[in-house]
Structure 1
Amino acid sequence: MFVELSDDILAKIFGFLDASDVLQCSLVCKSWYRVAFGNQIWYDLCERYFLPKSLKSLLTKLEENAISISKSRCSESANLGSWEFGFVQSSRQTLGYESTDSEGSDSSTAAEPSTILCGTKSCCCHGRKRLAVLITHFINDAEDSYNKYSLFKEFCLYFSRGSNYVSRIVKVLDTLETFCRRANLAAARTLLPGVDDNCIVEHVGNELPADLYCLYRLCSGQYIPSDYSQFQGILGGYLFYDVLVDCNLSSVCSMQVSELGNRRILKIGQDMFWYNNRGSQGLFIDLETKHVIELTQNHYVIASNDIVTYLEKYVNDLSSNSLMVDRNTKQILRFCLCPTYSGYSDVVTGYIRIQATCLFVPGISKFSHFQEQDEFVFAYRIRISMLSSAPSHYMFRLEQRHWIVTDTDGHVENIRGPGVIGEHPIFHPGSVFDYASCAPLRGPVGKMKGSFTFRPLHHEPGSEIAAPFIAQVGELHLNIFERYRFPPDSPERYLQLQKRWERDKSF
């Protein structure tokens, strides 16, 4: 019966199958063989496995990122000189970027890059040119332009492992760069070209999980300028007191496999991290489980099941405007401004609006089998503003703060003090003040709420603001389980809390 189906019907049926199943069907008979190798079927498979049809901008990025990266070097001792790539020249001449992007990028310049780029002189040149050719054929819809089955095989050869991740990674990179360009962030122009197989094998061997392998074939990390006066981490960061976290994708050449207990881990996200000289943290991949992990002082927590899921969650937060962007440094901040997130509050008292958000900081936290030694540090960021609708003569000075912090066991701590972070900011209609601080807990969950006392500096006699008044800060739920998980070898009391959260999604 199936042999008698028309070619059009067979083609529609085959369109729902995976590549291996289509090849199996081609062995049934001559008519199935003819349909199974139709151009449209393999064009659709290319789109499904590798390159979404709507993301043609990748070809432009391949050209821009691979143009004349002069005086770049793979190590401090090996200067490779000028690399010629043969692409059509564009407005961006180097990764030191003079940009005239139409989507709002500034025209500022940066110093010529002098950091590690990739493993060999040919890894960007040959590999990126070949991928650009494949994408060009993919975009060209002409029936006689290229045999689409051959094109599929070429893509499979280029991405020799984990081809099912490629389409998702392309979407992530495209969304990431689009957001950064529209927000006029310098990080938009720091992603490096992908690398070839021999570069990956030379520096990492064959230990990369398939999804991470595909990521580095498309994007080999991030260029970090020698003048690190402003944050450039593509994965965002935050700063409070003497703690600076700024996460960026490390290049293949700087990736190292190390030991964590009986596990082998690979560092994929470098960061700058200072806190009483405790050293650097960053993102890691557990090579056995593929989990994305972050180190604590004496253990680790799981941030995601794999790197692609981690990046997808991150760019989804960016696209939905759930993450903050620092207006001065143009840095992506990991603090979440999302009403559905329990670590966020937004309260208006009179004409004063207070937004508060928090996040768990693994690098300076610790947990063990001895609860009295545990310290779970949560950073929080406060944005205080006076509404523009306030009367023009209103002017307030922040006098005092009051916080009520409750930890996992219900222990309550009251914190009072003058001003915030040693300052007494003054507010008038439309003014905004941001600051960040931290709150340590003796467990992985807790809550905090508080208030600020304001004193009027200028008012009319007999007005309603003649005396100091209190502006409330909405309750923040401090909860690591919304972004992290404990590994199986963690203390049982924390695993029990985790199970409770996974079951009820509340405490």
Structure 2
Amino acid sequence: MAAAFMELRMDQLPTDPLLHILSYLDFRDLMHCSFVSRRLNELSKHNPLWKSQCCKHWLLTDDDRLQSGVSWFCLFKQYYTDLGRYIQYYAVLKRAWEQLKSFLQQRCPRMIASLKEGTTEVELNDIEAQIGCKLPDDYRCSYRIHNGQKLVIPGLMGSMSLSNHYRSEVLLDVETAAGGFQQRKGMRRCLPLTFCFHTGLSQYMALEPAEGRQMFESFYPCPDQTAQDPSAIDMFITGSCFLEWFTTYVHNVVTGEYPIIRDQIFRYVHDKSCVATTGDITVSVSTSFLPELSSVHPPHFFFTYRIRIEMSSSASPEAACQLDSRYWKITTSDGNVEEVQGPGVVGEFPVMTPGKVHEYASCTTFSTSSEYMEGHYTFHRLASKEEVFHVAIPRFHMVCPPFREPVVRTQKALASYTPRFDDHDDDGEYCDGDGDDFDDLRGINMAALEGAWCPRHI
């Protein structure tokens, strides 16, 4: 048996054992080996070695190689010549785009038609010359794959709809984004990533670490409603770099974290533990923060929540019931508790029968950046109105994104502040008098994205 095992293992080895060793090397090391000796130069061009490199870095298939009509080695060189500067990002972004398109083809096919073909290196270089600022390589890489989206609705980057409010964010192509590049005080060196026709809302990416922003982070600008200085713009942070911002969004879409409603992507977030079952009825909740209706100064944080009420299909027909009223217990992060009750839900009194699902959306505002709600519905049986019972609504939390205040306000606050001996709380940090540490200004410390070195030539 041992002899048979050894024979099998020997059969699995390549004809030259050196090839087995080379198969563990990355493309850079393979190329370095080619300069060592004539023998290694020959072996380092072995076609199967470059097939694995093409699959790993460029996500190429056998069909791609057959269509190209060249060897795997030559195919790798072709892609590297064109996209080599993006090799650390390309596979991740290409895979994200393919997953997103595959998902949209099944669920939101009209969005596929709105995607634009990738731009070129020359066009990206021209945009940099136009705005006088360098674009990060992960952004450039993504736009080589798809140059954003046509200016149509619905937007690729998600929608939100309430009774009198609608938002749908388009992923801007690089030319349109360059036209909105900001040089005004408070938004200097910021490039728009998205745009909503209905609200005028955009997410921006900071191309330089100016005015309190971290380099390459994405954010929603939020003007200070209490300041006379127009450059006092707060920021709701949405990502530390383009790669994180885009791939996180795609993950939430393709995994079903964001629901598809009326052929659009809605950016509701559902906590899988936020489900409660009472008898035959299950209630689940998802939430969303609306930056376009929120502000840091004054503190006004707007949330919408979507509730799904479902009666089990296995329930008895006699279990049919109707919702009469709702009760809420609302707790803010500063400990305040409010209780609210009223008839129906958003003016409706849904009847629940076996297999029936009822969904509705509502909204709320808070002066604190986080809070949670819980409560119950009151139902009566259709067969007997005297039979009244409660159905639990699970506790669900609403937390706004991290936010940062502008340098102009922070500098003024520090200049006018004089520490007192009693300005400490229990953990030793200086306090501002309302119980919040200076270290808890909702800011985040994000390191600038640095591209890894890679060879310029193959």
Normalising by the residue count of structure 1, what TM-score does the alignment of the two structures yield? 0.68
Asked if the contact 1:399–1:418 (Cα under 8 Å) also holds between the matched residues in 2, the reply is yes
1:476 is matched with: 396
1:224 Cα deviation (Å)? Answer: 4.2
Asked if the contact 1:50–1:164 (Cα under 8 Å) also holds between the matched residues in 2, the reply is no
2:51 is matched with: 43
1:356 is matched with: 285
Asked if the contact 2:108–2:264 (Cα under 8 Å) also holds between the matched residues in 1, the reply is no
SS in 1 for 2:53: helix
1:349 counterpart letter in structure 2? T
1:177 is matched with: 101
1:71 is matched with: none
Unaligned 5+ runs, structure 2? 1-13, 209-214, 225-233, 411-435, 445-458
1:339 lines up with 2:272 in the alignment: yes
- Greater RCO, CA 8 A, separation 6+: 2
2:202 is matched with: 282
Asked if the contact 2:235–2:405 (Cα under 8 Å) also holds between the matched residues in 1, the reply is no
1:448 counterpart letter in structure 2? M
1:157 Cα deviation (Å)? Answer: 2.8
Asked if the contact 1:53–1:139 (Cα under 8 Å) also holds between the matched residues in 2, the reply is no
1:397 lines up with 2:317 in the alignment: no
Instruction: Classify 1:52/1:245 alpha carbon distance in 2 versus 1 (closer, same or farther; 3 Å).
Output: farther
Asked if the contact 2:305–2:362 (Cα under 8 Å) also holds between the matched residues in 1, the reply is yes
1:485 counterpart letter in structure 2? P
1:382 Cα deviation (Å)? Answer: 0.9
SS in 1 for 2:193: strand
SS in 1 for 2:111: helix
CA deviation string 1:362-384 (max 9, x = no partner): 2222224xxxx212222211112
1:468 counterpart letter in structure 2? V
Aligned length: 384
1:420 Cα deviation (Å)? Answer: 2.1
2:427 is matched with: none
Instruction: Classify 1:379/1:39 alpha carbon distance in 2 versus 1 (closer, same or farther; 3 Å).
Output: same
| Sequence identity percentage | 24
Bigger Cα displacement from structure 2, 314-323 vs 25-34: 314-323
SS in 2 for 1:159: helix
1:417 lines up with 2:342 in the alignment: yes
1:188 lines up with 2:112 in the alignment: yes
Asked if the contact 1:324–1:337 (Cα under 8 Å) also holds between the matched residues in 2, the reply is no
Name the CA distance, whole Å, in 2 between partners of 1:413 and 1:446.
Answer: 11
Instruction: Classify 1:391/1:294 alpha carbon distance in 2 versus 1 (closer, same or farther; 3 Å).
Output: same
1:215 lines up with 2:142 in the alignment: yes
Instruction: Classify 1:164/1:421 alpha carbon distance in 2 versus 1 (closer, same or farther; 3 Å).
Output: same
1:242 lines up with 2:164 in the alignment: yes
Instruction: Classify 1:363/1:14 alpha carbon distance in 2 versus 1 (closer, same or farther; 3 Å).
Output: farther
Question: RMSD across aligned C-alpha pairs, in angstroms?
Answer: 3.1
SS in 2 for 1:258: coil
Name the CA distance, whole Å, in 2 between partners of 1:10 and 1:486.
Answer: 55
1:485 is matched with: 402
Name the CA distance, whole Å, in 2 between partners of 1:222 and 1:202.
Answer: 19
Asked if the contact 2:404–2:441 (Cα under 8 Å) also holds between the matched residues in 1, the reply is no
CA deviation string 1:104-141 (max 9, x = no partner): xxxxxxxxxxxxxxxxxxxxxxxxxxxxxxxx33776x
1:262 Cα deviation (Å)? Answer: 6.1
1:476 Cα deviation (Å)? Answer: 0.6
SS in 1 for 2:142: helix
1:496 lines up with 2:440 in the alignment: yes
Bigger Cα displacement from structure 2, 468-477 vs 191-200: 191-200
2:166 counterpart letter in structure 1? L
Q: Quick check: which has more Rg, 1 or 2? A: 2
CA deviation string 1:66-89 (max 9, x = no partner): xxxxxxxxxxxxxxxxxxxxxxxx
* Structure 1 segment 70-469 matched on structure 2, within 5 A: 136-137=64-65, 145-159=69-83, 161-183=85-107, 185-203=109-127, 205=129, 207-225=134-152, 228=153, 232-255=154-177, 256-259=180-183, 261=186, 263-274=188-199, 280-288=200-208, 289-298=215-224, 299-326=234-261, 329-339=262-272, 345-368=274-297, 373-456=298-381, 458-459=382-383, 466-469=386-389
CA deviation string 1:421-460 (max 9, x = no partner): 233333333222222122222222221112222234x305
CA deviation string 1:204-249 (max 9, x = no partner): 5463211111111111112344xx5xxx222322212433222231
Asked if the contact 1:138–1:151 (Cα under 8 Å) also holds between the matched residues in 2, the reply is no
SS in 2 for 1:157: helix
2:315 counterpart letter in structure 1? A
1:418 Cα deviation (Å)? Answer: 2.4
Asked if the contact 1:191–1:221 (Cα under 8 Å) also holds between the matched residues in 2, the reply is yes
SS in 2 for 1:207: coil
Asked if the contact 1:408–1:442 (Cα under 8 Å) also holds between the matched residues in 2, the reply is no
Unaligned 5+ runs, structure 1? 1-5, 57-135, 275-279, 501-507
Asked if the contact 2:315–2:354 (Cα under 8 Å) also holds between the matched residues in 1, the reply is yes
Name the CA distance, whole Å, in 2 between partners of 1:237 and 1:35.
Answer: 53
Asked if the contact 1:450–1:472 (Cα under 8 Å) also holds between the matched residues in 2, the reply is yes
SS in 1 for 2:295: coil
Name the CA distance, whole Å, in 2 between partners of 1:257 and 1:271.
Answer: 16
1:409 Cα deviation (Å)? Answer: 0.8
Name the CA distance, whole Å, in 2 between partners of 1:430 and 1:412.
Answer: 35
Asked if the contact 1:43–1:138 (Cα under 8 Å) also holds between the matched residues in 2, the reply is no
1:176 Cα deviation (Å)? Answer: 0.7
Normalising by the residue count of structure 2, what TM-score does the alignment of the two structures yield? 0.74
Name the CA distance, whole Å, in 1 between partners of 2:220 and 2:359.
Answer: 27
1:26 lines up with 2:34 in the alignment: yes
1:44 Cα deviation (Å)? Answer: 2.4
Asked if the contact 2:405–2:443 (Cα under 8 Å) also holds between the matched residues in 1, the reply is no
Name the CA distance, whole Å, in 2 between partners of 1:436 and 1:16.
Answer: 54
Asked if the contact 2:270–2:287 (Cα under 8 Å) also holds between the matched residues in 1, the reply is no
1:171 Cα deviation (Å)? Answer: 0.8
Instruction: Classify 1:265/1:15 alpha carbon distance in 2 versus 1 (closer, same or farther; 3 Å).
Output: farther
SS in 1 for 2:316: coil
